[in-house]
């Protein structure tokens, strides 16, 4: 039996992990249950959870323990102004969790990002490609990767860093939900067509992480994104198609036309070669995933009262 500790439980990935792990022994935490920036509090919490004192009830020793860190400072532009705060959340917190998890003998899975790369490649980034972040957000996430892969203590339990990109989910705000809203509010929408990446449905990402936890994959770095790639413009057109709207209402534009405090990667496509080599199933193609997401019962993407 596997016991799970999921941080960032209120976010889109944390929420989908809970959906897919329904019925399992899961302790899901977010603010205000635990201040993850308090290293001593994190150590105490993980020790108590590992010993069987979790909020979900414990099963005692002899079970596989898995910590999934889905908590992060994801305000890319805000990190430029508040890098110290972003560093605490994106770099120090993963280190606290990794050290506490290693002491408890727990497998650690930490979520990272395409922003650790420069974003100027022309072929998909492999897991061992040079890390060269161009933004404060990317720098703090790169530091978090180092903290997880080199914790202060070790027990032999594997530690994984899983980089992903362009994530959208039913919970919270994201690009997909923004495009759904703008389709109702505007006759046309201008979207950048010079940034490439792989849209990733958080439900499929969560399923991939669960597969990883139960595998014999070597510890280290992996990439897990939707299959294939497109631009934000291409994704927006696909969203309009799913809404039954005319995709010609989406107009291409450039990154230069929308200056932001933090530079955006022009190329964020991540290779899944290491993922597949570890025997893990490849992610569905991003377009198929979007179609599947929009077919969910209850239609969670459209606002209440949405009609065409």
CA angle 116, 163, 242 (to 5 degrees): 110
Cα separations (Å) of 190 from 51, 173, 255?
Answer: 53, 19, 11
DSSP secondary structure letter of residue 262:
S
Buried b (16+ CB within 10 A) or exposed e, 15-54: bbbbeebeeebbbbbbeeebebeebeebbebbeebbeeeb
Q: Catalytic pick from 96, 115, 137, 168? A: 137
Tell me whether residue 137 is one of the annotated catalytic residues: yes
- Annotate 12-58 with DSSP letters as a single string: HHHHHHHHHTTTSEEEEE-TTT--TT-HHHHHHHHHHHHTT--TT--
Strands 25-29 and 64-69: unpaired
- The closest alpha carbon to 230, from 285, 304, 156, belongs to 285
- Residues noted as catalytic: 137
């Amino acid at each position: 039996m596997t016991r799970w500790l999921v941080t960032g439980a209120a976010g889109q990935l944390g929420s989908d992990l809970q959906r897919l792990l329904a019925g399992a022994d899961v302790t899901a935490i977010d603010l205000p249950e635990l201040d993850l920036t308090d290293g001593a509090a994190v150590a105490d919490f993980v020790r108590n959870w590992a010993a069987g004192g979790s909020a979900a009830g414990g099963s005692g020793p002899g079970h596989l323990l898995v910590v999934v860190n889905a908590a992060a400072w994801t305000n890319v532009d805000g990190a430029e102004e508040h890098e110290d705060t972003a560093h605490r959340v994106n770099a120090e917190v993963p280190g606290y969790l990794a050290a506490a998890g290693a002491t408890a003998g727990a497998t650690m899975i930490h979520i990272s990002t395409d922003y650790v790369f420069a974003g100027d490649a022309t072929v998909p980034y492999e897991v061992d490609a040079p890390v060269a972040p161009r933004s404060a957000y990317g720098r703090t996430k790169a530091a978090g990767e180092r903290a997880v892969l080199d914790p202060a203590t070790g027990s032999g339990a594997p530690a994984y860093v899983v980089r992903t990109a362009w994530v959208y989910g039913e919970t919270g705000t994201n690009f997909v939900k923004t495009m759904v809203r703008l389709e109702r509010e505007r006759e046309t929408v201008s979207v950048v067509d010079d940034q490439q990446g792989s849209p990733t449905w958080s439900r499929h990402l969560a399923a991939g992480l669960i597969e990883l936890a139960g595998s014999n994959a070597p510890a280290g770095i992996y990439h897990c994104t939707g299959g294939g790639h497109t631009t934000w413009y291409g994704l927006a057109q696909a969203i309009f198609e799913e809404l039954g709207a005319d995709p010609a209402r989406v107009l291409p534009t450039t990154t230069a036309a929308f200056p932001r405090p933090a530079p955006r990667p022009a190329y964020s496509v991540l290779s899944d070669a290491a993922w597949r080599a570890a025997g893990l199933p490849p992610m569905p193609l991003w377009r198929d995933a979007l179609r599947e997401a929009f077919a969910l019962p209850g239609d969670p993407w459209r606002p209440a009262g949405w009609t065409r």
